[in-house]
Structure 1
């Protein structure tokens, strides 16, 4: 359905939101240099690194460069979501599996009361944020529209070249966007249409998965935009 030339159906709203966010992101990423792409604005941050120089326990990637990843845990920002999932019927064991943590850790999260302390997470580089988005979109395509076999963490060959990384990233995003554009109303309502192995996709209707993909894209691109502003202020 359209009103004033704008789509108001569920898929239309989700796609229009994503397309608008992408337009803004492409403009903001214009002129990204390798130095800026790999800039670490704070010590102890996460980035992409040569395999032999990885500083985090679960760094991953199929090639010479890997993406930093720390020890498995449930961040404070996800406590409320975990509580909702359990209230909606997800087992504690399944939540623990999704987050690669112990059942005891999930029970600790569920038992938490009072204000939640802000997460103390490492500052990540533009390279890390793009890499994180890239393997997410590649994996979400594979596990919804592909053969549902490849591990998302082995699908992206991370690169120290900003131009190469962006070229590969947008190609992966385009493939995902083209496939999502053909999703039916029935598929939007199908629980488990996406079997993406990291997270709760198999337990959610596909409309909710797309909503989450938009959220992930928008918030990481906003972070990248801020890093670009800080880089410009630093070198001015």
Structure 2
């Protein structure tokens, strides 16, 4: 039987991986993008960077940038209270967050903050989860550790969803066509190794063969761990899948969402024709 602690860890890891995948490839322009006047963001000061903040924010609250939202997530995950409210002490190495002033620094800060939070969550006993938090939690003194753990997970989940939505807004306001750039010779496999997988994710099947001819690997994976073969199998794009197999697609690779190989995707998404074809494929040819 799965314990409460393991269920909390599993939910945390799932929400975290979804967020981490959604911020992969973020640029500085995107990180600081302010689509409206009056946004709250992260701003450079004489002492580094600081996030806009007020005890009582304006009503309605201002739109917050990716920089602000990501800083907030990192801060709440590694805040001292995610140890002390459970009756534990922060590790000596759990220094306060330095507000990240670039997209790369933000991703590093997120990774570090999640490592701290996960370590603290994994250390909780059932007694820690059942016990009222007491005076240290102020108005939440009578709430138990489980309720506080769920609160932190709710913060991770709903702010993570906001981050994904802002990235969608940014992409819509700044359209790009990396596939056209690659076909024009402006983007190489070194520049963007997983471009062929991205083409499959976008269901741009017509560009997949040309990208393969240009040297883009058929076995690179999206942030979710899906290869072009996974995506072709799952969508029933049999002609593209045949091409990928001919070019050496590794059908044994597993994705991070379902932990399934290419055959598993065909079965999960009920692509009978694809599953029938894959049953005839004994092994992938040598990768080019």
TM-score interval, normalised by the smaller of the two chains: 0.5 to 0.7
Structure-1-length-normalised TM-score: 0.65
Q: Partner of 2:53 in structure 1?
A: 69
Say whether 1:231 aligns with 2:173.
Answer: no
Q: 1:122 aligns with which of 50, 62, 65?
A: 62
Question: Are the structure 2 counterparts of residues 179 and 147 from structure 1 closer, same or farther at C-alpha, using a change threshold of 3 Å?
Answer: closer
Q: 2:29 aligns with which of 31, 35, 41?
A: 35
Question: Are the structure 2 counterparts of residues 165 and 201 from structure 1 closer, same or farther at C-alpha, using a change threshold of 3 Å?
Answer: farther
Higher RCO, Cα 8 Å, sep 6+: 1
Q: Retained in 2: the 8 A contact 1:148–1:195?
A: no
Structure 1 regions of 5+ residues with no counterpart? 2-6, 53-62, 76-118
Structure-2-length-normalised TM-score: 0.54
Q: 1:169 aligns with which of 110, 113, 116?
A: 110
> Who wins on radius of gyration, i.e. which is larger?
2
Say whether 1:15 aligns with 2:13.
Answer: no
Q: Structure 1 residue 43: deviation in Å?
A: 0.7
Q: Partner of 1:207 in structure 2?
A: 146
**2:98 counterpart SS class:** coil
Q: Partner of 2:132 in structure 1?
A: 191
- Give CA deviations for 1:136-185 in whole Å, capped at 9, x if unaligned: 11213453433599xx9x92211221111211221121122022112111
Q: CA RMSD in A?
A: 2.7
Question: Are the structure 2 counterparts of residues 18 and 162 from structure 1 closer, same or farther at C-alpha, using a change threshold of 3 Å?
Answer: same
Q: Retained in 1: the 8 A contact 2:83–2:120?
A: no
Q: Partner of 2:99 in structure 1?
A: 158
Q: Retained in 2: the 8 A contact 1:193–1:206?
A: no
Q: Partner of 1:146 in structure 2?
A: 89
- In the alignment, the residues of structure 2 paired with residue 187 and residue 193 of structure 1 have an alpha-carbon distance, to the nearest angstrom, of 12
Q: Partner of 1:48 in structure 2?
A: 42
Question: Are the structure 2 counterparts of residues 33 and 134 from structure 1 closer, same or farther at C-alpha, using a change threshold of 3 Å?
Answer: same
Structure 2 regions of 5+ residues with no counterpart? 176-288
Q: 1:179 aligns with which of 120, 123, 128?
A: 120
Q: Retained in 1: the 8 A contact 2:134–2:142?
A: no
- In the alignment, the residues of structure 2 paired with residue 200 and residue 120 of structure 1 have an alpha-carbon distance, to the nearest angstrom, of 25
Q: Retained in 2: the 8 A contact 1:47–1:67?
A: yes
The aligned runs of 1:212-223 (5 Å cut-off) are 212-223=151-162
- In the alignment, the residues of structure 2 paired with residue 187 and residue 16 of structure 1 have an alpha-carbon distance, to the nearest angstrom, of 18
